[in-house]
A and B are shown apart, each in its own frame.
Chain A
Amino acid sequence: MYVSPFWAILAPVCGGALIAMLKESRLWERNALAILTSVVTFLLVAPALPFVLQGETLSWTAVRITGGLSIAFTVEPLGLLFAFLSSMLWVFAALYATGYMRNEHHQRRFFTFYILALSATMGVAFSGNLFTLYLFYEYLALITYPLVIHTQSAEAYAAGTKYIIYCFVSGALVFLSLFILGGTVECLAFTPAGVLGAALESHRLTLFIVFFTAVFGFGVKAAMMPLHSWLPAAMVAPTPVSALLHAVAIVKTGIFGILRVMFYLYGVDTLRELRVADILAVFAVFTIIVASVLAIKQTKLKSRLAYSTIGQLGYITLGAAMLSPYALTGGVAHLINHAVLKIVLFFCAGAIITQTGAKYLDQLNGISKRLPYTMFFFTLASSGLIGVLPLAGYISKLYLLGGSIEAGKPIFGFVLLVSAVLNSIYYLPIIIRAYFSEGPYEAPLGLESHPSIFFPTAVLTVICVVFGLFAQQTTLPLVTRIVSSIFQ
């Protein structure tokens, strides 16, 4: 039997510790170690995929603390999807970070925490009950604080403080939910049909209230409006951090937590009974529209991408909140598709910053001359987010729209369409500016950016196309398995 996923939590801890022991000047060893740790973690996670696709699951209780409280792990479709996705993107991001950070200070600190965050993410992905999830969730928040304040400017410290306050509020809400729920049912282990249905009769009001404390607790990390403002502030961090943590790992742990609470604790039937999902959907709609409008007003490239992330995360929440199989398929598929598309966009933004220093949108005039391929990748990934075929984003959008039809609420579908048009309003001008305006940039000599920046971006762009054209062979089987286990 495969127990390797549990080692995936431990491997980055060892890797991080080794990096911490290396001297600041040992550049090559550190870089190699960081990449190696990510690759090893990925290789530990990946073999579980065929088993899970066949329908096998595995759980393991590591420590039994008292009564219902225990530290338990499980390998099942949703967790494995998240683990697989994060560890795969971590490999690319670690490679990218070695190129991006090569002239930065405090590299040892950076890479130590960058790799440790991987273990926290794996812990979140494989946690088998709410308590374990909460532990790793808090661990992730603490471990990423040094990454946010990396530049140590006043702005960075302010952003870091904001970040940590939001994280603690988020953690506190989850903790509160954990305690109240722990009082209503014996065991809070994640099961696809939900475990709280048994307590529905006796604790109806409690369950109703706790749904919101738990979902909004995780919703802080998922940047659900109006609890989003830490995310744009955290863009002060170096780009590898924004790309991996603030577009993929951290925000997606928030989404992951919401999915766990909704479908693996409450269960679809209980949610329908409580009629809470519609209220969540309204918040998601609000997030999608407001974030997209605010994105148009941003003048910094990375802030625009951050607001776009907030809006796109709303898609996933909305997909979950519609409580229809199609919509959930779209939502979970978007968890993957948004991750790869947005990481490409951030990688491009990072390449622009390292090569030209341009951070503001009006500095991007004619930049395609300096970074032709990078801007091409940017164009592809942003059209993927708009929903252009055959890039990854269209699959999730098709299923989400289908879900809105299936649930008999086409209005949610229209929200997604409006958001897609807003997406094009904030992405297209960047592209037109880059290609068709005159700017001060000259053609590059040789490769347009550092190889460890260029190639991860290129490969991930190819993956964006593959996840669209070949979704049936790559992403969709696992997503369908998750959805069919939830809607039995």
Chain B
Amino acid sequence: MIIWQPQAAFGLLLVATLLVWLGGEKARGSSSLILSALAGAFVILATLFPLVGTGQIFRQTFSILPPFGLSFHADLFSVSLALLFLFSGFVLALYTSAYPLKHDERRFKTAFLFIMACASGVVLAGDLLSLFLFFEAMSLVFFLLIIHNRTREAIAATYKFIYLTIGGSMCYFMALATVFVQADSFAWVQGGFMPATSLSALAFGGFVIAFGMKAGMVPLHFWLAAAYGQAPPPAAVLSSVIMMKTGAYGMIRIFHHVFGPEMLSLHGWDKLILSFALFTIFYGSFCAFAERDLLRRLAYSSMAQLSYILFGLALLNQAALVGAIFHILAHGMMKGTMLLCAGAIVSKTGKRKIADLEGIGRQMPLTMACFSLAALTAVGLPPMNIFIVKWYLSLGALSAGQPLLILFLLASSLLNAAYYLPIVFRAYFGAESSDLHDRLVWDRLPWPMTVAMLLFASACLVFSLGSVNLPLEWTKRIAAGFFY
């Protein structure tokens, strides 16, 4: 059966990108154009949902992009992720439409929409080369957002990011060439298609470096803090909620649809990734703890949180994978809220240092309420959805026969509490600095920013309250698809 939705959604976003650019610097309607394009793409892909929900897989290959063509692939996993990305992108676009960017709005918004198109392309791509096309385009264009402020530090952060990206791409290229010669195919196959040869370690290493860099895996993480510190906050949200997740997504595909769990556990590569993930969780948490800048602290925290996904993936069992995939959603909503709040604080008060945030809870109560909710989510308190993640990751660790790993998860929760809660306490109970009013002042944010924050914040909560947790059901089905 021929499907048109992935191509149509991607094409729509691409055309909209072009229109935003052609619209010029002073175009009024660019924000509504972006919003309607994202909504349109969401609706188009949503029509695919009933089809893939039954477990069907669709592929479509075009004879461009040699050697094997550009292909789109729609299964429950890719469509759900694409929908999640488009939803997050919509919320973020709403926020960005009111965020004071000060200059070069056209460039920022064009790059934003282009990255959205490519991120949907990454999850909808049907083979390694098509994925690489979108992945690389997305990564390279992101530098336009980091460099936005054009300061010396921003340019330094840009160079750091872009050289690392190109290095990662080259490793990917090497891996791709190995697969090209040895397997003569790029398309996803359930259980993997790569033959075991002496050079398959080279291929695996190349992919891990490229995707691990995007997901902020130590030791490939050092672009992250610099980029978050210099880029405008909407760009940091885009990276944390969407772009870093594509790294995790790629890793999942590599594990299950290129090499296959058997080959990984045979070579012990799953243990390798597991130890990198654990190390990243702790390294990221400690760095976040030591960091004084709000956005940079969130960057290190993103790094640590993303490794939960790698952790769940590397355990190679179904329960852990449920935790890993659900974390893509849970972390997106949680970190999205926090970064949107941080962006609101920066844009409103210009304060970035955590020490300066004394009493900000009175000045911006709504923002800090959302932030506190997200902070509690991150710690993993039961009603919120990161609790579900930790629950399933623990189940996974138990069934992998490694109960000690649960202790690591608990320790990580404590660290999360240690670096998030002081911000919250300080905001509400800290001594007020002299330039603040001593009475309650409402946030005075433009409404789109408030709405965006509230949307993400409620998404932290809403999925875990009802008796039927719809996303969790989907996640279970997705994970079951990997281990049938």
Interface positions of A (Cβ within 8 A of B): 326, 383, 386-390, 394-395, 397-399, 401-406, 410, 413-414, 417, 420-421, 424-425, 428, 432, 436, 468-473, 476
- Report if B366 contacts A (CB, 8 A): no
Contact B199 A432 (CB under 8 A): no
Contact B136 A417 (CB under 8 A): no
Contact A424 B163 (CB under 8 A): yes
Residues on A with C-beta less than 8 A from B132 are: 389
Contact A398 B180 (CB under 8 A): yes
Partner of B182, one of A404, A405, A424: A405
Contact B170 A387 (CB under 8 A): yes
Residues on A with C-beta less than 8 A from B313 are: none
Interface positions of B (Cβ within 8 A of A): 63-67, 69, 129, 132-133, 136-137, 140, 147, 150, 155, 158-159, 162-163, 166-167, 169-171, 173-174, 176-178, 180-182, 199, 202
Contact A401 B173 (CB under 8 A): yes
Contact B133 A398 (CB under 8 A): no
A386 to B66, CA, bound (A): 18
Contact B173 A387 (CB under 8 A): yes
Interface centre among A388, A398, A414, A421 (most CB of B within 10 A): A398
- Given A389-B133, A472-B67, 4 more pairs with CB closer than 8 A: A404-B177, A410-B174, A421-B166, A472-B63
A468 to B64, CA, bound (A): 9
Residues on B with C-beta less than 8 A from A476 are: 66
Contact B170 A406 (CB under 8 A): no
Contact A395 B136 (CB under 8 A): no
Look across to chain B and name the residue whose beta carbon is closest to the beta carbon of A420. Answer: B170
Residues on B with C-beta less than 8 A from A468 are: 65
Contact A432 B181 (CB under 8 A): no
Partner of B66, one of A387, A406, A413, A471: A471
For the complex formed, measure the closest distance between the CB of A394 and the CB atoms of chain B, giving whole angstroms. 8
Contact A389 B136 (CB under 8 A): yes
A386 to B136, CA, bound (A): 12
A394 to B133, CA, bound (A): 10
A388 to B173, CA, bound (A): 10
Look across to chain A and name the residue whose beta carbon is closest to the beta carbon of B158. Answer: A432
Partner of B174, one of A401, A403, A473: A401
Contact B167 A421 (CB under 8 A): yes
Contact A414 B174 (CB under 8 A): yes
Partner of A469, one of B64, B136, B155, B181: B64
Provide a sorted-by-A list of 29 A–B residue pairs whose CB atoms are within 8 angstroms.
A387-B170, A388-B136, A389-B132, A390-B65, A395-B66, A398-B180, A399-B177, A402-B180, A405-B177, A406-B181, A410-B174, A410-B202, A417-B170, A417-B173, A421-B163, A421-B166, A424-B163, A425-B163, A428-B159, A428-B163, A432-B158, A436-B150, A436-B155, A472-B63, A472-B64, A472-B67, A472-B69, A473-B63, A476-B66
A383 to B150, CA, bound (A): 22
For the complex formed, measure the closest distance between the CB of A428 and the CB atoms of chain B, giving whole angstroms. 6
A401 to B163, CA, bound (A): 20
Interface centre among B133, B159, B170, B202 (most CB of A within 10 A): B170
- The A/B interface has a contact count, at CB < 8 Å, of 90
A125 to B446, CA, bound (A): 67
Contact B178 A405 (CB under 8 A): yes
A469 to B67, CA, bound (A): 10
A436 to B147, CA, bound (A): 8
A256 to B174, CA, bound (A): 27
Residues on A with C-beta less than 8 A from B182 are: 405
Residues on A with C-beta less than 8 A from B162 are: 424, 428
Look across to chain A and name the residue whose beta carbon is closest to the beta carbon of B148. Answer: A436
A403 to B178, CA, bound (A): 9
Contact A417 B174 (CB under 8 A): yes
Contact B137 A389 (CB under 8 A): yes
Look across to chain B and name the residue whose beta carbon is closest to the beta carbon of A326. Answer: B181
A405 to B194, CA, bound (A): 14
Q: Given A410-B199, A428-B162, check contact A389 B174 (CB 8 Å).
A: no
Residues on A with C-beta less than 8 A from B199 are: 405, 410
Residues on B with C-beta less than 8 A from A436 are: 147, 150, 155
Residues on A with C-beta less than 8 A from B155 are: 432, 436
A398 to B67, CA, bound (A): 9
A387 to B177, CA, bound (A): 13
Look across to chain A and name the residue whose beta carbon is closest to the beta carbon of B175. Answer: A401
Residues on B with C-beta less than 8 A from A428 are: 159, 162-163
Residues on A with C-beta less than 8 A from B202 are: 405, 410
Q: Given A421-B163, A471-B66, check contact A432 B170 (CB 8 Å).
A: no
For the complex formed, measure the closest distance between the CB of B71 and the CB atoms of chain A, giving whole angstroms. 14
Contact A469 B163 (CB under 8 A): no
A239 to B271, CA, bound (A): 56
Residues on A with C-beta less than 8 A from B133 are: 389-390
For the complex formed, measure the closest distance between the CB of B125 and the CB atoms of chain A, giving whole angstroms. 12
A260 to B66, CA, bound (A): 27
For the complex formed, measure the closest distance between the CB of B104 and the CB atoms of chain A, giving whole angstroms. 10
Residues on B with C-beta less than 8 A from A394 are: 173
Residues on B with C-beta less than 8 A from A472 are: 63-64, 66-67, 69
A399 to B178, CA, bound (A): 10
A443 to B158, CA, bound (A): 26
Residues on B with C-beta less than 8 A from A399 are: 177
Residues on B with C-beta less than 8 A from A432 are: 147, 155, 158-159
A398 to B137, CA, bound (A): 17
A417 to B171, CA, bound (A): 8
Contact A386 B174 (CB under 8 A): no
A40 to B225, CA, bound (A): 58
For the complex formed, measure the closest distance between the CB of B483 and the CB atoms of chain A, giving whole angstroms. 31
For the complex formed, measure the closest distance between the CB of A438 and the CB atoms of chain B, giving whole angstroms. 9
A472 to B68, CA, bound (A): 9
Contact A402 B181 (CB under 8 A): yes
Residues on B with C-beta less than 8 A from A398 are: 67, 173, 176-177, 180
A395 to B69, CA, bound (A): 12
A275 to B137, CA, bound (A): 41
Contact A470 B173 (CB under 8 A): no
For the complex formed, measure the closest distance between the CB of B464 and the CB atoms of chain A, giving whole angstroms. 40
Contact A470 B64 (CB under 8 A): yes
Interface centre among B177, B178, B199 (most CB of A within 10 A): B177
Look across to chain A and name the residue whose beta carbon is closest to the beta carbon of B132. Answer: A389
A410 to B67, CA, bound (A): 20
Residues on A with C-beta less than 8 A from B180 are: 398, 402, 405
Residues on B with C-beta less than 8 A from A420 are: 166, 170, 173
Residues on B with C-beta less than 8 A from A397 are: 173
Contact B150 A413 (CB under 8 A): no
Look across to chain B and name the residue whose beta carbon is closest to the beta carbon of A471. Answer: B66
A398 to B169, CA, bound (A): 12
Residues on A with C-beta less than 8 A from B158 are: 432
Look across to chain B and name the residue whose beta carbon is closest to the beta carbon of A475. Answer: B66
A183 to B346, CA, bound (A): 81
Look across to chain B and name the residue whose beta carbon is closest to the beta carbon of A404. Answer: B177
A37 to B33, CA, bound (A): 50
